[in-house]
Chains A and B, each alone.
Chain A
Amino acid sequence: MKKFSLLSTRAGALFLAPASALVGVFVIIPFFWVIFVSFTNRTLLGRTAVDPDFVGLQNYFALFNPTTFFTRGQFGFSLILTIQFVLLSALIGQALLGLLLAWLSQSVTPTLKSFLQTAVIAAWILPEVVIGFAWFAFLDYDNGTLNMILRGLGLPPGDWLLQQPFWVIVFFNTWRGAAFSMMLFNSAFQSIPPSYFQAADVAGATSWQKLRDIALPLIRGHVVTDLILITMWTFNVFTPFLLTHGGPSYRTEILSIYTYRIAFKDFEFGKGAAVGVVIMLINLAFALVYLRLAHKKPAEAE
């Protein structure tokens, strides 16, 4: 019997039209437009807002100007800060903690497991402004919960948002995002046949040996997926703005906040667009790696 199609090509095209229009206008056009704007001196106000001049690579030269590159509040400083932020809060913080949380969840009682998962997932699903405010209260110097605990333990309190702003956003982002890695590793561990672990138990393996020799090699694909996704998200995250506004004195100004300041505080759209292009290039590199891996092993791409 000839296999007939359920939806003709024409009907299919019609079905695709609304989505194509929306994605075209708000995802694909911005991609090309930001490249175009990055070669102009477009501003938000004034003459160049309506009639910008073509300035070639001038915006990029300004970003990569070697004399100011590493200065606080400049592009290079922000880029390096972002790389440190991603390494510490995503790759080390979220991924390792997520792995630990998922592994612990496997071997504790159901009550404890649901307590643990609820706390971790609550940090992840609540709206970002609520979380930002909760942390503002948590870190308050005089009354905040953190300093209350530190004083209770006989340790010196600190005005953390002023003294250690970078470490605050690192811990904050680790705390905020660990749930994703935990859930991904949870489902990865559940895909391993229990008999593997039972055999190891009979042989007297420790928990660490089971994790290292059985679980980790089997979920390698999930680990790579996790690392790429959380790297991309952390690289683009804007939430630390709600805690620190990029300050004090630019010490937490990661690239997303830097772009915001250049474009919407200093009104330099051309330069802001150039930063956007650099961010997109870095995103592109990660996305290509991710899609290649996802393509190769569809089973593990979830």
Chain B
Amino acid sequence: MQKKAQNIFVRRTVFAAAATFLGTVFALPLVWFFFAPFNARAELGLAIPSPFTLSNFATVFQNTFAMQALLNSLIQAAGGVVLVGAAATLAAYALSRSPIPGKGAVTYILLLFSSVVSGSAAMVPIFLIISAAGLIDTHLAVILVFAGGLLPTAMFILRDFIDAIPRSYEESAMVAGASPLQAFFDVALPVIRPGIVVVVVWAFVNIWGSFLIPFILLRSDKLMPASVAIYSFYSEAGTPIVTLLAAYSLIYSLPVIALYLLVNWKFGFRFFGGIKS
């Protein structure tokens, strides 16, 4: 019996050591980010700032181009999120509640297309469609392309969510005299809301962080989102201005971190599978 207790102790130690090691390895490339933004003399090396300063942030906040880029990211992400949220909710509700023929086939084909038409396969035709529509170098181009790309997965997640809600909620509302639209807006929508939040957060993070689509579709500096604009923090000699890049990267990452924490706190660690864009 004592030997068994000893074995358990050894096993626990080995597991704890392995977990610590792996956690450290994963954290290493990011450790630099904890310090560099607060160091007025930051370089690519790891160094504890002395003194700790917010001057890098002050410089970034004074840089109108950098701030404009954050605003552009916000415009594009917000636009995409509103479109995806609204269109996906309506579509998912229809797929779940209306007797449209061939619903299963529609869902299947949507999922198939959305996973086959990836960013790398579709960059040529998406560029061509956007230029044919005269939308090259507009916020709308980025918003529409993301909305189309993210919608199938968003619809799929929301349809699962709505399927899990008893029909009797809306049925009793309609027996009491509500119209189908009232049943949707006043009864179903409040119940679906957590699902919509998840989809909206997921879409926001996807658009906010993306590089390739705005990189291809936008040209003028005043429309660039932060993900592309960040590459302008290089000196004329082509070396990165590390202090600005580090501080800007941190600011740009904050919304994503905040949203992750929010979802984690509100919904726990529920796992929503699906196809990333």
Contacts and interface: CB of A to CB of B under 8 A. Distances in A.
Interface of A: 4-9, 11-16, 18-20, 22-23, 25-31, 33-34, 37, 42, 100-101, 104-105, 107-109, 112-113, 115-116, 119-123, 125-131, 133-138, 140, 142-146, 148-149, 175, 178, 183-184, 186-187, 204, 206-207, 225, 229, 232-233, 236, 238-239, 242, 255-256, 259-260, 263-264, 269, 272-273, 276-277, 279-280, 283-284, 286-288, 290-291, 295, 301-302
Interface string B25-68: 01111111100100000011110000000000000000000000
Given A29-B129, A263-B123, A280-B117, A12 B256 contact: no
B262 interface: no
Which of A26, A37, A138, A279 has the largest count of B CB atoms less than 10 A from its CB? A26
Interface of B: 4, 11-12, 15-16, 18-20, 22-24, 26-33, 36, 43-46, 83, 86-88, 90-91, 93-95, 97-101, 108, 110-129, 144-145, 147-149, 151-152, 155, 167, 170-171, 174, 180-181, 183-184, 205, 208-212, 216, 227-228, 230-231, 240, 242, 245, 249, 252-253, 256-257, 260, 269, 271-273, 275-276
A12 B118 contact: no
Contacts of A272: 123-124
Nearest 9 Cβ contacts at the A-B interface = A26-B148, A12-B98, A143-B45, A256-B120, A127-B209, A19-B91, A15-B94, A30-B125, A7-B98
A16 B96 CA distance: 11
B111 A15 contact: no
A140 B273 contact: no
9 contacts: A11-B180, A13-B100, A23-B114, A26-B147, A116-B23, A120-B26, A122-B26, A136-B240, A276-B120
Contact of A30 (B98, B117, B167, B183): B117
Nearest to A260: B123
A30 B129 contact: yes
Contacts of A204: 4
A231 B218 CA distance: 30
What does DSSP make chain A's interface, helix, strand, loop or mixed?
helix
Given A104-B15, A276-B121, A27 B149 contact: yes
B184 A115 contact: no
B126 A6 contact: no
B149 A101 contact: no
B120 A129 contact: no
B212 to A, nearest CB: 5
Given A19-B88, A142-B45, A12 B209 contact: no
Contacts of A133: 230, 240, 245, 249
A27 B15 contact: no
B129 to A, nearest CB: 6
B23 A255 contact: no
A214 B174 CA distance: 49
A280 B116 contact: yes
A286 B127 CA distance: 25
Nearest to B132: A33
Given A11-B98, A27-B148, A128-B227, A18 B90 contact: yes
